[in-house]
Each structure stands twice: as structure tokens, then as C-alpha cells.
Amino acid sequence: MKLNVITLALAATAFGVIAANAQTTVIEERRDPSVTVTTDTPATSTTVKERGGLLGTEKKTTTTTTGAGVSGDCSNKTVHKEGLTGDKTVSKTTCD
């Protein structure tokens, strides 16, 4: 009985030593830094047409343009209203 216990303890110790000798391999992958290319985005324009007022007699057209100007950092908003009382156009340009 004592021989079985000693054999079991010896086997457990040997197994622990074998497990402790396991090797760990670390694989590192190194890449060159990424290159960022900045391109100029073309100007984009959005037009929204609405009808409103009494019986749909008024018409409103809103045009928003971004990326305009020499440096491409300007935005332009134009609102044109047509109605029974006359036409009116308002334009606003914002440059950063």
C-alpha cells in the first residue's frame, strides 16, 4: 500500500516537472507604419425642393454646397422662395 502511494506521488511529481518544462513561443509581426494619402474631395451639392403655404402656392428651394472655394473649406447655402407676394433669394457663404 505504501509502495502504491509512493509510486503515485512520484508519477505526479514527474508529470508536474514535464508540464513545467513546456515552452511558450511568441510570434511578433511587425509592419511598416501605414501611409496616409489625403486627397481633395470634390464639392458636393444638395438641393431640397418643398411646396407649402395655402394650397401649395409657395415653393422653397434650398441648395447646400460644401467643399467649395479655392481651398475647399467653404460651404454655401442658397434659399430661393417663390410665393404669391414675390420671389426672394438669400445666399450665405461660410469659410473656415
Report pLDDT digits (tens) over 7-31.
877 777 766 655 555 566 777 777 7
pLDDT tens-digit map of 39-70: 666 778 888 888 887 777 889 999 988 876 66
59 Cβ neighbours under 8 A, 6+ residues apart? 49, 50, 51, 81, 82, 83
* Domain residue ranges of the chain, discontinuous segments joined by +: 43-96
pLDDT tens-digit map of 65-91: 887 666 677 888 999 999 888 899 999
Residue 40's pLDDT is what?
A: 65
Residue 95's pLDDT is what?
A: 82
